[in-house]
A and B are shown apart, each in its own frame.
Chain A
Amino acid sequence: SQQGEEDPQALSIQEGENATMNCSYKTSINNLQWYRQNSGRGLVHLILIRSNEREKHSGRLRVTLDTSKKSSSLLITASRAADTASYFCASISSGSARQLTFGSGTQLTVLP
């Protein structure tokens, strides 16, 4: 079963604009990860943020984590048409669990 929800479910923006996706989860976590999936392909790892971190950057990506609200956000700045994909958050629960629990995903469309 899925850990939580992502919103929006779908987002359509113009090239050059910023895209923000939000994710909520239900249990205490060790870390939270964001993945991208292009149609018909596997998941590509984007960024991992640990439970003791609040913000992380990687190129045009910025991830925040608020453990008190059990939420995370992914910001993609200066979007490109090639950023069109589905984006998923996934968390590793605290304790001995090793598997990812995924959110429901956001379908991002960047219009040229």
Chain B
Amino acid sequence: GAGVSQSPSNKVTEKGKDVELRCDPISGHTALYWYRQSLGQGLEFLIYFQGNSAPDKSGLPSDRFSAERTGGSVSTLTIQRTQQEDSAVYLCASSSSIDNQPQHFGDGTRLSIL
């Protein structure tokens, strides 16, 4: 597609449930990033993929969070046993691997935990 696509755009779920968020990057972009945007914390880095491997998982807030990327394309971010503090907008971005290139963002998934 022309841009980064994320689904669902909105997700409401009960505390304790697992959720899966999907990101489809720009075709040909080998680097993929997940960020989280919340009122209290602003924009935070979660995880970065180069191809299918994740050299930097340093931003994942707890072991309830995991992510994978298959075929060097689509990525899923999974949150297990959701808590209310997980409520946020989860943003995905992709870029080429060439240095000093911009990251292109999707519109995000707004996650609300009841």
Contact = CB atoms under 8 A, between A and B. Distances in A.
A and B bound?
Answer: yes
Interface of A: 1-2, 30-31, 33, 35, 40-45, 48, 50, 88, 90, 97-102, 104-105
B56 A98 contact: yes
A101 to B, nearest CB: 7
B46 to A, nearest CB: 9
Among A44, A98, A105, the one with the most B-chain Cβ atoms within 10 Å of its Cβ is: A98
Contacts of A43: 91, 93, 105
Contacts of B50: 98
Given A44-B105, A98-B48, A99-B33, A50 B56 contact: no
A30 B100 contact: yes
Interface of B: 4, 31, 33, 35, 41-45, 48, 50, 56, 59, 91, 93, 99-108
B51 to A, nearest CB: 13
A1 B44 contact: yes
Given A42-B105, A42-B107, A101 B45 contact: yes
Contacts of B48: 98-99
Contacts of B91: 42-43
Contacts of A100: 33, 35, 43, 45, 93, 103
Given A42-B91, A43-B91, A102 B42 contact: yes
Nearest to B107: A42
> Lowest 3 CB-CB distances: which A-B pairs, in order?
A102-B43, A42-B105, A45-B102
Contacts of B100: 30-31, 48, 50
B15 to A, nearest CB: 24
Contacts of A104: 42
B56 A99 contact: yes
